[in-house]
Each structure stands twice: as structure tokens, then as C-alpha cells.
Amino acid sequence: MSLPKPVVGVDGCSAGWVCARASPDGVAIEVVPDFEAVCDFAVAHEAERVLVDIPIGLSATDRRDCDREARHRLGSRASTVFFAPVRAVLDADSHADANARNRARCGSGLSIQAWQLVPKIRDVDSVLRARPDVRDRVFEAHPELVFAAFAGEPLAESKSTQVGRVRRLDLLRTAFPDGDPETVYRKTLSRTLRRDVARDDILDALALAVAARYPLETLPANPPRDAVGLTMAIHVPRSESTPE
């Protein structure tokens, strides 16, 4: 049985954020400019859950346990999960500065891929700290963990390949047969520019929207909170579960 209210999956893109809304009526996608607009979108549609592919909750002095567990669960696909920066990195003005801050506090540098996520992390962090009305419905997730949960194992095929995209769309169609995520994916491709919204952005937002309809578990099982009260956890559909 579907959730009584819609759920939303969110992935960052060059134009802002891709919001995929899943409900008993199907799936719809909207692109919004910032995370404030994501939250407004969720509130306007009375979304029960919002799953977003971005680190939420940042350690002060160490790498996050949720990132370690996610990488372990994905095995050979571990590199798709970047270690989140420590909180001090949010004020950095360059990769060199961020790398030095991260290394000084947790003993490890910050990858360029993780640095490229920092503007989005800042956006989400500032909005969640300022908006308690949405904080209890916005959760961190990771698309490759979602696909692994639906497939029963990590996917060997990269989502940047045609074979990988077809495999993932097949999994989403099976997980949400009434929602027709593949048609929504193709319609969104046709009405957006690739410089604004990449293929992977649409696919990942859809994956998180479908995942949000399922019972979720957290990595780690008993997640800690960071210095500002945000939970450091990655949410994953439970194995062999069915939509709520």
C-alpha cells in the first residue's frame, strides 16, 4: 500500500535541484533553483518524506560512520560514495583551503569530487538549520545504495553507460510499476537541457523518490547527531521490503 501522502526524491544538478515527486497518482519532476525551493515544493505537496543525495550532518573531527558503512556495503562500487567534509570546510574558499582544513581535523584530505559538492552541502545545511518545519522529513540517501537494495546486490554497470541506465530504469519500473518512472525520465530529458540537468540527475532523483515509498533503515543503525543537531545517517530501503 502506498504512503498516504507524496514523497520526494532530490538530486543536485547544474540548474539547482531535480525534485521527483512520487504519489499514488504516479511520478512528476520539477527543477528548482535552490534547497529553499525544494523544501517549499515538499511542503506545498505535503510530502511525507524527502530523500536527498547530499551529506546531511557533518562531523567535526572524523570521517562519518555512515560513509564508511555505505562504501563497505557497495563493495566494488564504493568509490561512488565520497567521504563528506568536516563542518569546518563549509567556510573554505578554495579546494586547497578545504583540503588543509579537512586534513587538520580528521587526518584525511578532501577529494576534488567532495569539494565540488560543498556549495550544495552549504545550501542544504543552512536551510535545515533555519527551518525546523522540514527538518524531520528531509533525509540523506544515496542512489547507488537504493539500486543495490532493489537489485539485491551492488550494480556492476556504471549509470553513465547505456547498459547501466537501462538496468536502473528496469529496477525502478519493478519497484514502482504504477508510477511509470521510465516515461517520466524520458519526458524530463526532452524538456530540459543537458547543461542544466544531466541524465544521471534525473535517474538519481527518481531512484530516491521510489525509495522514499519503502520502509527505510539507516547506516549506521544508531546514527549520531552533529554539533548543530543534524543526524549523520544514510537512509536505505530495507532488504526484501515492499512499499508502505
What are the pLDDT digits (tens) for 201-238? 999 999 999 999 999 999 999 999 999 999 999 999 99
Residue in this structure with the C-alpha cell 519526458, named with its chain if needed: 187
| pLDDT score at 178 | 84
Q: Is position 154 within any domain? A: yes
Question: What residues make up the domain containing 190?
Answer: 7-56+137-211
Q: Are 57 and 129 in contact (CB under 8 A)?
A: no
pLDDT score, position 179: 87
* Residue 222, in any domain of the structure: no
Mean residue pLDDT across the chain: 95
Does residue 42 fall inside a structural domain? yes
Please give the share of the chain, as a percent, with pLDDT higher than 70: 96
- Is residue 44 situated within a structural domain? yes
Mind listing the pLDDT tens digit for each residue in 54-111? Answer: 999 999 999 999 999 999 999 999 999 999 999 999 999 999 999 999 999 999 999 9
Q: How confident is the model at residue 5 (pLDDT cuts 50, 70, 90)?
A: confident
**Residue 82's closest CA among 116, 123, 111, 56?**
111
Strand 7-13 and strand 16-23: the pairing is antiparallel
Domain count within the chain = 1
**Residue 119 counted as domain residue:** no
Q: Is residue 85 part of a domain?
A: no
Helices (H) and strands (E) in the chain, counts: 9, 7
Percent of residues in the chain assigned helix, strand, coil, to nearest 5:
45, 15, 35
CATH number at residue 20: 3.30.420
Kindly calculate the radius of gyration of the chain based on its CA atoms and give it in whole angstroms.
17
Q: Do you find a cis peptide bond into 132, omega within 30 degrees of 0?
A: no
pLDDT for 224: 97
What are φ and ψ of residue 139, in 5° steps? -130, 145
More confident call, 5 vs 152: 152
Q: Are strands 26-32 and 16-23 parallel, antiparallel or unpaired?
A: antiparallel
For residue 24, the model assigns a pLDDT of: 85
**Is residue 25 a part of any domain in this protein?**
yes
Beta bridge partners of 140: 52
The answer on pLDDT for 45 being more than 70 is yes
The yes-or-no verdict on residue 131 having pLDDT over 80 is yes
In DSSP terms, 20 is beta-bridged to: 9, 29
From 199, 201, 206, 142, select the one nearest 170 (Cα to Cα): 206
pTM score: 0.95
> Does residue 233 lie in a domain region?
no
